[in-house]
Amino acid sequence: MWNFWTRTIAGGALAAMLVLGAAYAPSIVKAQAQTVVLHRGNGAEPDSLDPHKSSGTWENHIIGDMLIGIFTEDIDGKPIHGAAESHSVSEDGLTWTFKIRPHNWSDGVPVTADDFVFSWRRILDPATASQYATLLYPFKNAQAVNEGKLPPDHLGVRAIDASTLELQLENPAPYLPQLLAHQTAFPVPKHLVEHYGADWFKPGIYVSNGPYVLAAWEPNNFIKLIKNPGFWDAANVQIDEVIFYPTDNTSAALKRLRAGELDMQNGVSSQDIDWLKANMPEALKLQPYLAVSYIAINSTRAPLNDKRVREALSLAFDRDTVADKVLKFNEAAAYTFVPPGTAGIAPGAALSFASMPYAERLAKAQALMQEAGFGPGKPLKIALEIGPAPDNKRVGAVVQQQWAAIYVDLELRASESKVLYALLKENNFDVSQAAWVADYNDAKNFLYLFRTESKDMNYGRWSNAEFDRLMAEADKARDEAARGALLRQAEQVLLDDYAVITNRYLNTRHIVQPYVKGFHPNLRDVNRTRWLSIERAS
């Protein structure tokens, strides 16, 4: 479906030059001899470069190099002012006012407060069908707008004037600066979206307000961005071009990196870890960040809607073996869904069997499966959806073996990342590999996935009235300790009902050549090209 986006590198660059204006062309010609290019292995192929249509971290890595929200990330992944140069907050924490810094889209059209009003109404408009719209539900009337109960112009945002934006919230949100740095809150160019509609983000049309602009997109091959000379901090941007490559096959990506075809790679296979630790220790970046791996359960399908079956599957899944023996990423087995150290939640939630010996867990799982009507002569036949990476197949084989002991005949179905996430969003699976990387450092960003209102972000469509009530109460809580206690209770409800099968708390898995400077592992795992440079030995 992406054939009409295909461009050669030269053709894409020419189109971008036409968009940016004639004044840009001489600078490109002048820079040809000294162009600094960064080649980034980026995991999966993007589904979209429209921030309102995308949902993956691999898409955010690219879009966030081109578009900048009210806030953006610094070199350590922490929020700093972006499209806004300052802000103020009302005493009750419900009204935020932003002063938009003077800057332009890359075609010279000024960025105004109205671009943000237009953008936030657009993503929440049910006609846009944005999977990630629920992330903005802290905005006043956002949920009602997204559910079609109110028109988009009832969203709690207004442009006081061209440079002053006012945002009203449903409840205080101390994490708002982080949220407004996320791709869902990015501005889109109103003048182009209104003119081109769904085609606005094609090469040759796409404009940005950030460090880079789209030059070319050759699906399943590369996406090329070139430096935006009109960016307000362009003088400090050291990389002239960045080329992102889809690298689902992480072992093949390592070979490309060793051959000099890649400077960075996001994703490492466990079969390569020992070699990397021995031969490229300075390049390997295994650092904790706010992410959890889990197995999603489709609770709308029988017999997975039976709590006994879900509990048995979770009991029989030996996460410690997977974390310690199958994979070697220095990751801890997960007995909670919210990673330890995440802000905004009181400690204490845990799976009931966290300290139970595995042999006892297995015996209990067998008994539960027999109660549910399964046994040696009547296995439960289900399929586990997995991604294309070799490690997914290795872990899948282990799960297959472990669940066989509790009378499960498990089929492994491997798909490309795009196909896998489409199955998840459409609730078209039995059980599936899944993972969540935090959009901001707060427990709500993990737990909100399981609210009934979270729609297709809630892959298994699990719904629990008590969980929803506790999450709503936490939103209203003004006291930080009370809010944290409510979120802990909500997580315990999630764990006690075995809504998902927790797997591991993830570490970053980057390979970064030592000559790439400015890469700082951080809890958000955000490293924008804007802060990077290349310093090779002369």
User: At residue 20, does pLDDT exceed 70?
Assistant: no
- Model confidence at 248, pLDDT cuts 50, 70, 90, reads confident
448 strand-pairing partners: none
> Percent of the chain having pLDDT more than 70?
94
pLDDT classification of 32: cutoffs 50, 70, 90: very low
How far is residue 327's CA from residue 289's CA, in Å, rounded to a whole number? 17
Pairing of strands 264-266, 37-41: parallel
pLDDT at position 130 over 90: yes
% residues pLDDT > 90 (the chain): 86
What is the predicted pLDDT for the residue at 538?
61
**Model confidence at 9, in pLDDT bands (50, 70, 90)?**
very low
This prediction has a pTM of 0.84
Q: What is the DSSP letter of 111?
A: P
What are the tens digits of pLDDT across the range 467-522? Answer: 999 999 999 998 999 999 999 999 999 999 999 999 999 999 999 999 999 999 99
> Bigger pLDDT: 457 or 364?
364
Domains located in the chain, CATH noted: 1-67+196-287+508-538 (3.40.190.10), 68-187 (3.90.76.10), 288-506 (3.10.105.10)
Bridge partners, 80 (sequence order) = 72
| 77: CB partners within 8 A, 6+ apart | 520, 522, 523, 524, 525, 526, 527
Mean pLDDT over each residue of the chain, to the nearest integer: 92
Neighbouring residues of 68: CB distance < 8 A, sequence distance ≥ 6: 82, 83, 186, 209, 210
CB-based contacts of 411: which residues, under 8 Å, 6+ apart? 381, 382, 383, 384
pLDDT in tens, 385-439: 999 888 899 999 999 999 999 999 999 999 988 899 899 999 999 999 999 999 9
